[in-house]
Amino acid sequence: MQKEEIIEKINSFLIEEFEIEESQLVPEADLKQALGIDSLDFVDLIVIIEKNFGFKVKGEEMIDVRNLQDFYDYIIARVNK
């Protein structure tokens, strides 16, 4: 799966499932503060990732994921393993 395709898929479910405006989806956007994703949303986000990309997410792997670019990079690395 190509990087652009992964980013497009991530942005699509952030817009649809979390009602985030497309204009907010910039790589430097902080997931918690700028996008308003709280701890309960993270649980939903993990379920969506696992369903859409076919891998299990371990909580400790997400510790360093702070902004949208970190999130993209994490998923791209896992998908392309």
Residue 10 sits in a domain whose CATH number is 1.10.1200.10
Supply the Cα-derived Rg of the chain in whole angstroms: 12
Question: pLDDT tens track of the chain, all 81 residues?
Answer: 899 999 999 999 999 999 999 999 999 999 999 999 998 998 999 999 999 999 999 888 888 999 999 999 999 999 988
Number of structural domains found in the chain: 1
CA distance 9 to 22: 13
Find out whether 51 and 62 touch, Cβ atoms under 8 Å: no
First-last CA distance in the chain: 11
Domain of 47, in residue numbers: 3-79
